[in-house]
A = this chain, B = another copy of it.
């Protein structure tokens, strides 16, 4: 063992501290796996005087990222600052200098993954990003290396821990979205500005990263129809359970019969017998259907310092071994990324869960059924319940009824149009909800 592999951290927050902890604690074993010791050479931070969870030699701290990127003795850069810029420029610069890069940055990869991969390939550097989706779940490695001779037809992921945590507590406590969000914010499971998570944007970023590897597709978040979980109410969990389903916030990607990609992010009803339905709290999971392998499900911690750092360090070790062997860039060479046709939004068929609140008066159901029928949406099951009997149900008053339906296969555009005309009816209270049934 002669050469030392030197790596630098850009950023040293929650994940960065975990990386320092794991590489320090396992230094001897990791050296045997790499065939050379790993050395933390630099830690670039915005404020060198800030207190940090990880024990770091103060001499390693720097605020000068450019110097780190220019340091030719540094083999690998680990970027854990997040966000598109300046992280994107830093990663580009590191790759162009032939440094391998490990990143957990899903928003950057969603926006510029294919470009960065081609820069990496051109400069014979590795670009590794296991931690960008699913935290500790080995989904990137599985898609990239394990299913190398297989063809993924569909994937469904619970990839946002905040949404899953909120939905789980809403179900278990019959509590409203707002009250659980507030509790999650207090516990640090949700950000003060929660929109990125609860409106589905973070999941859409992750879906773009997954689509890159699963379908070889260059997709941008703005191409992904995205819904969050704000419209879900406790009553929906109750009815879903009654029909044999759980409600999960999903990132969905699949090939249509015409080989287009149908990509979307939204809450959905998942059959309780499917493993995804029992993935609760802050856990993440990705379910795949592939031609050869059949069904696969990977479940694990989607966030947190050590769970994310486990994935970052796995990538770091891969990059270090490749670097030591002089084969950096091999991992990404031949990753096919092309623009693939995206299915028209709202063109796909699905089973739907519909929930509406209506005034308790005769003739209401006939008018609703008529509107659905006029839009070619046919009802498979229907339950009507007097509203307002549970304190936790919002907007419940004594003359309100909740009507819940499961439909037969129906095209999304038709369902949306039908609900638009239903919501315009004078006896309908608030906005009705439509959720897909998945699987």
Q: Chain B residues near A149 (CB, 8 Å)?
A: 22-23, 26, 29-30, 309-310, 313-314, 317
The answer to whether A33 touches B138 (Cβ under 8 A) is no
Smallest Cβ distance from A342 to chain B, in angstroms?
A: 22
The answer to whether A292 touches B136 (Cβ under 8 A) is yes
Q: Interface 1/0s, chain A 308-352, versus B by CB < 8 A?
A: 011101100110010001110010011110000000000000000
Closest to A314 in B: B146
The answer to whether A145 touches B141 (Cβ under 8 A) is yes
The answer to whether A295 touches B283 (Cβ under 8 A) is yes
The answer to whether A292 touches B309 (Cβ under 8 A) is yes
Give the distance in Å from the alpha carbon of A30 to the alpha carbon of B292 in the complex: 15
Closest to A140 in B: B146
> Is A373's CB within 8 Å of the partner chain B?
no
Closest to A328 in B: B325
Closest to A23 in B: B149
The answer to whether B35 touches A314 (Cβ under 8 A) is no
The answer to whether B148 touches A33 (Cβ under 8 A) is yes
The answer to whether A301 touches B293 (Cβ under 8 A) is yes
State the copy count for this chain: 2
Give the distance in Å from the alpha carbon of A291 to the alpha carbon of B138 in the complex: 16
Q: Chain B residues near A148 (CB, 8 Å)?
A: 30, 33, 313-314, 317
> Is A273's CB within 8 Å of the partner chain B?
yes
Smallest Cβ distance from A317 to chain B, in angstroms?
A: 5
Q: Chain B residues near A318 (CB, 8 Å)?
A: 145
> Is A87's CB within 8 Å of the partner chain B?
no
The answer to whether B310 touches A293 (Cβ under 8 A) is yes
Give the distance in Å from the alpha carbon of A338 to the alpha carbon of B296 in the complex: 32
Using A35-B333, A141-B145, A278-B273 as known contacts, say yes or no to A294 and B301 having CB atoms under 8 A apart: yes
Contact for A300 among B26, B274, B297, B309, CB less than 8 A: B297
Q: Chain B residues near A398 (CB, 8 Å)?
A: none
Query: For chain A, which range describes its interface: under 10, 10 to 19, 20 to 34, or 35 or more residues?
Result: 35 or more
Q: Chain B residues near A279 (CB, 8 Å)?
A: 275
Q: Chain B residues near A229 (CB, 8 Å)?
A: none
> Is A137's CB within 8 Å of the partner chain B?
yes
Smallest Cβ distance from A159 to chain B, in angstroms?
A: 15
Contact for A310 among B32, B130, B290, CB less than 8 A: B290
Using A35-B330, A274-B278, A296-B300 as known contacts, say yes or no to A146 and B30 having CB atoms under 8 A apart: no
The answer to whether A138 touches B146 (Cβ under 8 A) is yes
> Is A421's CB within 8 Å of the partner chain B?
no
Contact for A136 among B136, B137, B145, B296, CB less than 8 A: B296
> Is A69's CB within 8 Å of the partner chain B?
no
> Is A219's CB within 8 Å of the partner chain B?
no
The answer to whether A275 touches B299 (Cβ under 8 A) is yes
The answer to whether A325 touches B330 (Cβ under 8 A) is yes
Give the distance in Å from the alpha carbon of A35 to the alpha carbon of B329 in the complex: 11
Give the distance in Å from the alpha carbon of A150 to the alpha carbon of B292 in the complex: 30
Smallest Cβ distance from A208 to chain B, in angstroms?
A: 21
Q: Interface 1/0s, chain A 195-229, versus B by CB < 8 A?
A: 00000000000000000000000000000000000
* Additional A-B contacts beyond A35-B334, A296-B299 (10; CB < 8 A): A22-B150, A22-B292, A23-B149, A34-B334, A136-B292, A138-B141, A149-B313, A294-B300, A325-B325, A327-B327
Interfacial residues, chain A to chain B (CB-CB below 8 A): 18, 22-23, 26, 29-30, 32-35, 130, 136-138, 141-142, 145-150, 273-275, 277-280, 283, 290-301, 304, 306-307, 309-311, 313-314, 317-318, 321, 325-327, 330, 333-336
Those 4 A-B pairs whose CB atoms lie nearest each other, nearest first: A32-B334, A136-B293, A325-B327, A292-B306
